[in-house]
Amino acid sequence: MNIVERQPEHVEQLDQLIRSEKDAEQRDRVRVVILAIAQNITKDIQATLRRSRAFVQRWTYAYRNGAVAG
């Protein structure tokens, strides 16, 4: 998985989303993206967040295809 920050401010925006989000699943979706941008592999992200491979890939690719709005 090769995910890069699409714009320089995206990681900062994602960090802000995590801090303001009350729903744990939504926070994990954002964390997946931050960890993928940091070049963590899928298995490591799965282990860190205790989420399925499909969950990790779905939200990583959503970012890749739609940026922060994804």
**Residue pLDDT, tens place only, 13-60:** 999 999 999 999 999 999 999 999 999 999 999 999 999 999 999 999
| CB distance 63 to 3 below 8 Å | yes
49-70: per-residue pLDDT in tens? 999 999 999 999 999 888 666 5
Residue 48 lies inside a defined structural domain of this protein: yes
Residue 3 lies inside a defined structural domain of this protein: no
Residue 56 lies inside a defined structural domain of this protein: yes
pLDDT at position 10 over 80: yes
Please count the structural domains in the chain. Answer: 1
Write b or e for each residue in 38-56: b if 16 or more Cβ atoms lie within 10 A of its Cβ, otherwise e: eebeeeebbeebebeeebb
Residue 47 lies inside a defined structural domain of this protein: yes
Residue 1 lies inside a defined structural domain of this protein: no
pTM of the predicted protein model: 0.87
- The Cα-based distances of 29 to 8, 69 in angstroms read 20, 12
Residue 40 lies inside a defined structural domain of this protein: yes
Expressed as residue numbers, the domain containing 16 is 10-69
Model pLDDT, residue 7: 81
Nearest to 17 by CA among 4, 28, 6: 28
